Structure formats: structure tokens, C-alpha cells
Amino acid sequence: MIRQIVLDGIESKRFQVEMKPIDQVMLEQRAAMFTKRSIKKQSKLKALYETVRMIDLTTLEGADTPERVRQLCIKAKYPVTDHFRELLSNHDEFLDIPQVAAVCVYPSMVPYAAEYLQDTDIKIASVATGFPAGQLPLDIRLADVKRAVDFGADEIDMVINRGAFLSGRYQEVFDEIIAIKEACGEAHLKVILETGELGTYDKVQFASRLAIHAGADFIKTSTGKVSPAATLPVTLVMLNVIADHYDETGELIGMKPAGGIRTAKQAIHYLCMVNETLGSQWLTPDLFRFGASSLLNDVLKQIYKYYTGRYYYDRAYSMD
């Protein structure tokens, strides 16, 4: 049965959502298939390099300090040491390790990230809007966004008010995203659904469509503070919504799975899924990101092993 929900947005904005209920068994079987793809060695190396370029390095702790942000920015600019690079430079096919896509911090830390990342192409993302709960009054969340942008944020990672969404106040959630998108100005907006709290794939699908229609540049699975965070089935639901939206409008919407992606093997599963669901056009940091700081070290280990046949010792990698 097709469910149709009509929402009235601010300034008489309206959109219609038509969804068929998701077949959970088929979805999960389809997602599991991406863990069984056979990838040639050279293609695997390319995927590892692409993964580095798509990572958003993140520090979102109460103990964050300017020095901690500085260290994270150094890692973003220089993922490996000079010694690591020298060990691999003798290999004829060696390509230098790229910088990551972005550094994500709280609004109060944005000025420090802006200082440390000046003259680089690394984006500064900030989790504004009462992260991670999203329960603050809207005027405070809007002020939080504007402050982060004024400080130098290129991207805003907002979290939806799940209390409103799960209570069926979809209009409220829709209007809030529109207002926050306006407050972003030129900054891109990533809308975090916190899929681990939504409960069903149907709700993830609906929340994804709502966020896109309200103006999201990216949709993002999780804050990383709730379990489960990113999973292949949930991400597949969201990718399918993006694909449908592209077919309907020609508009490219980005995707960011976040939380729980710790190994290069997992990352390659996600890249296979993106490629087969959306196409190679999405295999760029402009349209796909990993919110997974711990992922970077494992990817670097796999790159080193590709060139040398052995793993580099753990202390060679920054633990930040």
C-alpha cells in the first residue's frame, strides 16, 4: 500500500511523499551482497586512496581544546609522516597520500580549525543545532549555525529533532531544516537523521526524503553517539532515496555514513554500494564522505601493506 503524506512548509512550501513499504528481507540481502564483491588488487589500491580523500576527521568531545583541534588538523593535512612516505617512495608506482576531505568540530572550535587549515582545500565542518540531541529551541539552533558560519565553517552538520519526528510532527522538522538551511548561507548543509533512533527502514526512507526536500545538500546516518550507527542496509535505503531524487529532478545529493566504520574492508563495501547504486559520479568527496576518524589509520596500514607486503607498526600512526 502506498502511503502519501502532504506537508505544508513555511512560505506555503509543500511536498508530497509517496513510498512503498520497504521489504526488509530483500533490502538486507541486497546490502549483504556488497560484502562479497571480489576486487582486483589495483582497484583496491584506488579505493583506499579514494577513502582517504573522503574522510571527515572528527573530534566532538567535552575535552576538546584548541591544541587537540590543532593536532587533528595536522593529521588532516599530513596523514602520514615523512618517514612513512620515504619508505614507500622507492616504489615506482607509489602515489603520495592525499589530504582528507574535512575536519569536523564544535562551533567553538571552528576559529582554531580555520586558523590551522588556512591555505588548504580541507573543508571545515561544524556540528551545530544542539548536537547530538537536537532538542534546543530553534532560535538557539539558528544562532549556533550562524555563529559557526561566521567563524569560518564551510559545512554544517545538523541533527534533526527526533522527538518531533517520532511524535509525528513532520511539519515541524521540515520547517526547521528549511530555516537552518537558510541560516547556513553559502555553507553546505548535512542533515543527520540519527537512524539508530528512527526504528524502521520505512522511517529512515521517509526522513531522508523529508530532509532532501527541505534543502539538505547531504544526508547523514548518525551522530556517532547512538548505537547502531551506520550500517549497510540503512545506508542503502538512503542511497536509494538519493537515486530516486536524482531520477526525478537531476539534483545531486551527497551521502555520509558515520559511526562504526573502522576498517578499510568496511569502507570498500560502502564504496561498492555507492558505485552500484548511484554510479561513479558519486565517488568524490563532493558527494560522499565517511564520518569515521578511526578509519584513516587502518586505510593507511592497508596502503603500506599493498606496497611492501607487510604492515607498518602501529605507533607510526597518529592516535588522535
Q: Which residues are part of the catalytic machinery? A: 157, 220, 256
Pick the closest to residue 100 from 299, 259, 282, 240 (CA basis).
299
SS (H, E, C) 182-195: HHHCCCEEEEECCH
Pick the closest to residue 176 from 153, 192, 198 (CA basis).
192
Taking a C-beta distance cutoff of 8 angstroms, is the pair 261, 290 a contact?
yes
Looking at the DSSP assignment, which residues form a beta bridge with residue 114? none
Concatenated DSSP letters of 249-276: H----EEE-BSS--SHHHHHHHHHHHHH
Let me know how long the chain is: 320
- DSSP letter assigned to residue 219: E
Locate 179 and state its grid cell. 530555516
State how far the Cα of 201 lies from the Cα of 193, in Å rounded to an integer: 12
